[in-house]
Structure 1
Amino acid sequence: MKRRTFLAGAATVGAVTMIGLKPSDAGASYNDYFRTVNESLKNNGPYRPMILIDLDIMDRNISTLKKMTRDTAAYRIVVKSLPSPDLTKYVMEKAGTNRLMVFHQPFLNYISKEIPDADVLLGKPMPVKAAQHYYNNLGPDNQYKHEENLQWLIDSKERVEQYLQLAKTLSVKMRINLELDVGLHRGGLTSTAQLKSIMAVIEANPQHLQFSGFMGYDAQVAKFPPIIKSIDEAYKESQDIYISFVDYIKQHHPQYELDKLCLNGAGSPSYALAGESGIANDLSAGSCLVKPLQFDISTLDDFEPASFIATPILKKLQGTTIPGLERLQWWNTFWDPNKEQTLFIYGGKWMAEYESPTGLRGNSLFGTSTNQEFINCSNNVNVNVDDHVFLRPDQSEAVFLQFDDIITIRNKRIQDTWQTLAG
């Protein structure tokens, strides 16, 4: 082969390869849903970053969850996933439950004051000093019946002994729910020997401690790669562990009626499984009702995303100009059509991904900003200043609390403003 022929062939191959690597245009304008929501926000919105919750979608999610809940189990709302008093109360009414799972001491004090009929289970073991702060901040006029309606979560003999001393000091009685390690390996009891030692402490102090049940969180069951084990196998393993502790209580403490104990389980990832079968009679979930990105898993296929971040576009520029690399501006748009436009939005750097319009992306060379996030898109993204960019949160519990309030929408139009929990 002649050298000239070889070089020509190599150049052709190189050109074809380059063309194959050239990014394609990913941009598109709003779909009908976000076009309507955008117009509503432009007409009546606060023109700042906001969390949106679509109540029509959430109502459907609540209905889906209720259909999954078997007759022998009750639904408990995970407050950290829906951290707004109005949102929590809305779900309580729609789902027909007064059961809440709380993970934060200030939230616990708020609920004791504002929702005095709530049946509360702590979702994690609190330092005993946090429990003391709870009692110290109840206030003299508080009507909450904490000795009847509040369950403290305990994960060790050392902690139950700390709580016993606090109960004696305050002259109160504390209901004790025991955390089980059912495969997540994030703490909790791992053997009936540990259970035996804790039950001995509880039963020796009936005036201050009362055994109320178990909590076994099994989020891992829906997240194993199939090559390791199937969802059904993982769920059965978790249930077998849970049942071994329940059997111990039945055998060694028959005075407890199982249907009167709070046998808590599930969580959004495994709710569908626990709703059909399992030992738990008290099932927790929250995130599935708003379905952030982390909950795009097979067990939640029947739920729809109901929450979004919306924020106004502050600036729209043609091309992509990076400080210090101005001379490469032509290359940015020549090589990548998705850099034909630059948008700067109000705020940014949230735990979220761009949802609408289609084809929005950050720019790694420019970097991120919590003040004015830099976004690239193609000319096929037909937006202007004062239109809104929509993002889908990775999770609800932390992202919602970055905002002072939640904007609810009904029929794709603004309905109300709900405050988020503070603390």
Structure 2
Amino acid sequence: MSGPSRGRRRLLAVGAVGAVALWMARPANRGAPHDAYFRSMQAALRQAGIAAPMLVLDRERLRANIRAAAGHVNGKMALRLVVKSLPCPALLEEAAALAGTSRQMLFSLPQLEAMAKGGRDILLGKPLPAAAALAFYRRFSDAAFRPERQLQWLADTPERLAQYRELARGQDLHLRVNFEIDVGLHRGGVADIATLRRMLDMVAEEPRLRWAGLMGYDAHVAKIPDVPGLRERALRHARASYAGFAAAARAHPAGRAEAGPCFNAAGSPTYRFYHGDGPENEVAVGSAMVKPSDFDLPALDDLLPACFIATPVLKALPRFELPYGAEWLGGMVRGWDANARRAYFIYGGNWLADPASPPGLDSSGLYGHSSNQQLLVGSGKQALAVDDMVFFRPRQSEAVLQQFGDIAVYEHGRIVDSWPALPAAG
């Protein structure tokens, strides 16, 4: 046999092997129907007559998550609820009652106006413009809430503190001011002891200001790459930085004047790293109690997702097709990927969320996204029909929980209540 013939045969054999390997590399069929949990939730929504996109909150899971967070604190520290992550008054009341706390962290003027009532202890989680603080005092009217004792404004720089000082002087107010410190996140805040002392000097010189404590957020500890030892070093750095700031503040006359400073730390990704063995005397927790997917972290493995977006299927088509002119490409996709054989158009869509049930559904990058009728593709093993529900899992709770009006409360296989969410606001 001639050399060229043998070469051609080798090329054909290599090509055949490559084709087989390519065919074997096709995505596996991931489709399946709803499991028992989501079948029960779907039945509950149907019984309640819900046929539009809806945020569903599993109250049993919510309560278990709240108890887990409170159990970790267990008297060693205080627990402060993050309102932007639980933006629903009834949800906040549930969490406050189970966790035994009246402390809240707020992030906007509308939240502050909604929550500044009764006996709540409020800490701002980001520095608001002095103009927003002025607007609050001009509209505030709840006689049972005493801002000079129950509200801590957040100052991140001497310049911001000076603005609050001028507000206090101009409006004859007495303000409690907490200082944001940088413990490694590098998102602003007091970065060195000299600046901290300068700000404490400003407080000491102004009788209308009172230093209330420190706030150090350390979300970077949970989010930096999981290189061996890197997260541990970041946590040690954060805690050592906090301890240094706290010691300097307590040594200053303005710090010594405050008998019980608020040393706030952590957040949902990191609160499990604190055990009451440092100056930090409270942790802030919110999203962990409903556990959206951004909080699928090793430290939170024992918590369960408690919030979902449910939406009906409007159209269940026998096959996935791309629009006119590109049908041929849709055929290739169907042949290659078993998970793109069927097309389902849902009510609404394009949320900050991902399909959770039935398994094997996904959006089509070729077709694009829609907030009106989003296309999902699947293999058909989902056994979805028109009016069946698709469930999404939010990636975060802040903002997403406010997109659907009232929240449907699911408990013991039924929709038992409807909780209004706070109006969406920055």
TM range (shorter): over 0.9
Residues 109-124 of structure 1: pairs in structure 2 closer than 5 A: 109-112=113-116, 115-124=117-126
| CA distance in structure 1 between the partners assigned to 2:15 and 2:265 by the alignment | 63
**Equivalent pair of 1:54/1:412 in contact (CA under 8 Å):** no
**Equivalent pair of 1:319/1:329 in contact (CA under 8 Å):** no
Q: Which amino acid aligns with 2:133?
A: A
Partner of 2:91: 87
Distance 1:377 1:172, change over 3 A: same
Partner of 1:414: 415
Distance 1:118 1:254, change over 3 A: closer
Partner of 2:262: 262
| TM-superposed deviation, 1:339 | 1.9
Q: Which amino acid aligns with 1:111?
A: M
Partner of 1:135: 137
Partner of 2:308: 308
**Equivalent pair of 1:70/1:276 in contact (CA under 8 Å):** no
1:207-256 Cα offsets, whole Å, 9 max, x none, are x1111111111111122223274333221111111111111123333872
Partner of 1:97: 101
**Equivalent pair of 1:84/1:418 in contact (CA under 8 Å):** yes
Partner of 1:320: 320
Distance 1:13 1:102, change over 3 A: same
Partner of 1:296: 296
**Equivalent pair of 2:200/2:252 in contact (CA under 8 Å):** no
Q: Which amino acid aligns with 1:394?
A: R
| CA distance in structure 2 between the partners assigned to 1:228 and 1:163 by the alignment | 43
SS of match in other structure, 2:65: helix
**Equivalent pair of 2:345/2:376 in contact (CA under 8 Å):** yes
| TM-superposed deviation, 1:4 | 4.5
- Say if 2:48 is the partner of 1:41: no
Partner of 1:281: 281
Identity, in percent, stands at 39
Distance 1:275 1:413, change over 3 A: farther
Partner of 1:58: 62
| CA distance in structure 2 between the partners assigned to 1:33 and 1:63 by the alignment | 22
Moved more, 68-77 or 26-35: 68-77
- Say if 2:187 is the partner of 1:186: yes
| TM-superposed deviation, 1:184 | 0.5
1:31-51 Cα offsets, whole Å, 9 max, x none, are 110011111112214211111
| CA distance in structure 2 between the partners assigned to 1:308 and 1:137 by the alignment | 36
Partner of 1:168: 169
SS of match in other structure, 2:374: strand
| CA distance in structure 2 between the partners assigned to 1:287 and 1:51 by the alignment | 15
1:129-160 Cα offsets, whole Å, 9 max, x none, are 11111111113x54321111000000111111
SS of match in other structure, 1:269: coil
Partner of 2:363: 362
Partner of 1:344: 345
| CA distance in structure 2 between the partners assigned to 1:275 and 1:36 by the alignment | 38
**Equivalent pair of 2:291/2:305 in contact (CA under 8 Å):** yes
Partner of 2:388: 387
TM-score with structure 2 setting the length: 0.94
| CA distance in structure 1 between the partners assigned to 2:156 and 2:174 by the alignment | 18
TM-score with structure 1 setting the length: 0.95
SS of match in other structure, 2:355: strand
**Equivalent pair of 1:269/1:295 in contact (CA under 8 Å):** yes
Distance 1:286 1:338, change over 3 A: same
Distance 1:227 1:331, change over 3 A: closer
Q: Which amino acid aligns with 1:397?
A: E
Moved more, 6-15 or 410-419: 6-15
Moved more, 174-183 or 189-198: 189-198
| TM-superposed deviation, 1:3 | 4.1
**Equivalent pair of 1:42/1:386 in contact (CA under 8 Å):** no
Q: Tell me the number of residue pairs that the alignment of Structure 1 and Structure 2 aligns.
A: 419
Let me know the Cα RMSD of the aligned residues: 1.7
| CA distance in structure 2 between the partners assigned to 1:228 and 1:191 by the alignment | 28
| CA distance in structure 2 between the partners assigned to 1:47 and 1:229 by the alignment | 49
1:46-72 Cα offsets, whole Å, 9 max, x none, are 211111111100111111111110423
Partner of 1:210: 210
Moved more, 13-22 or 303-312: 13-22
Partner of 2:202: 201
Distance 1:259 1:233, change over 3 A: farther
SS of match in other structure, 2:380: coil
Partner of 1:148: 149
| CA distance in structure 2 between the partners assigned to 1:401 and 1:94 by the alignment | 23
1:293-352 Cα offsets, whole Å, 9 max, x none, are 111111212211111111111110011111122345543333222122110000000111
Q: Which amino acid aligns with 2:274?
A: A
| CA distance in structure 1 between the partners assigned to 2:237 and 2:247 by the alignment | 15
| CA distance in structure 1 between the partners assigned to 2:8 and 2:242 by the alignment | 74
| TM-superposed deviation, 1:88 | 1.0
| CA distance in structure 1 between the partners assigned to 2:126 and 2:33 by the alignment | 44
Which structure 1 residue ranges, 5 or more long, are not aligned? none
| CA distance in structure 2 between the partners assigned to 1:11 and 1:156 by the alignment | 66
| CA distance in structure 1 between the partners assigned to 2:255 and 2:370 by the alignment | 59
| TM-superposed deviation, 1:257 | 6.9
- Say if 2:226 is the partner of 1:226: yes
1:168-219 Cα offsets, whole Å, 9 max, x none, are 111110001001000100011111111111111111112x111111111111
| CA distance in structure 2 between the partners assigned to 1:378 and 1:369 by the alignment | 21
Which structure 2 residue ranges, 5 or more long, are not aligned? none
| CA distance in structure 2 between the partners assigned to 1:64 and 1:402 by the alignment | 27
SS of match in other structure, 1:218: coil
